[in-house]
Amino acid sequence: MLSEEPDFITMADEEIATNFTTPVKLSVLLLPFLKNNGNSAIVNVSSGLFIAPKKSAPVYCATKAALHSFTKTLRYQLENANVKVFEIIPSLIDTPMTHGRGKSKMLPEELVDEFWQNFKNNKLESYIGKTKLLKLIDRVSPRLACRIMKNGL
């Protein structure tokens, strides 16, 4: 939640750095090596929350929307450079991050299986689990997608 506490500003800075600024910097710094390698890939992990945000996580959702956009444009820029740019868009996955919240979570192993199939088939955007349905709903009715996600799952 947004808060006027000084801690909120520090935490927001940290979350933006971890989720967005660092992947941007890493991409730039590693690019010369990746380009030289001949057959490389970048895999960024965003979230279904870039499609429609939940009110309790304003900064997290914003970083994921930014990462999604950055990943897409990076892919455009590297189209002819032999560096593939993948994006994993997870639904709710059973990891320490989601401990104690959410129902019917997917196992990390299921995410990996789904992504690996897509990776082998050169499918660059992996909508995992329920994010496939969310994407479809958002296409038909962005307002409904927002209503579903507003309070989280």
Determine if 104 is a binding residue for ligand NAP (CB under 6 A). Answer: no
Which of 19, 34, 45, 60 is catalytic? The answer is 60
- In a 3-state reduction of DSSP, which class is residue 2? coil
Q: Is 42 in the site for ligand NAP (CB under 6 A)?
A: no
92 interacts with ligand NAP by CB under 6 A: yes
Which listed residue (6, 32, 38, 96) binds ligand NAP by CB under 6 A?
A: 96
- Binding status of residue 134 toward ligand NAP by CB under 6 A: no
Alpha-carbon distance 76 to 66, whole Å? 16
51 is a site residue for ligand NAP (CB under 6 A):
no
- Extended strands (E) in the chain: 40-45, 83-89, 125-127
Residue 100 within binding range of ligand NAP, rule CB under 6 A = no
**Burial code of 47-66, b = ≥16 C-beta within 10 A, e = fewer?**
bbbbbbbbeebebbbbbbbb
Given candidates 85, 90, 138, 145, which one binds ligand NAP under the rule CB under 6 A? 90
How many Å is the maximal CA-CA distance in the chain?
A: 49
Cβ of 45: how many Cβ atoms within 10 Å? 18
What span, in angstroms and rounded, lies between the C-alpha atoms of 22 and 135?
A: 26
93, 137, 145, 149: residue in contact with ligand NAP (rule CB under 6 A): 93
Nearer to ligand NAP, 66 or 92 (CB): 92
Catalytic residues: 60
Residue ranges in contact with ligand NAP by CB under 6 A: 18, 45, 47, 90, 92-93, 95-98
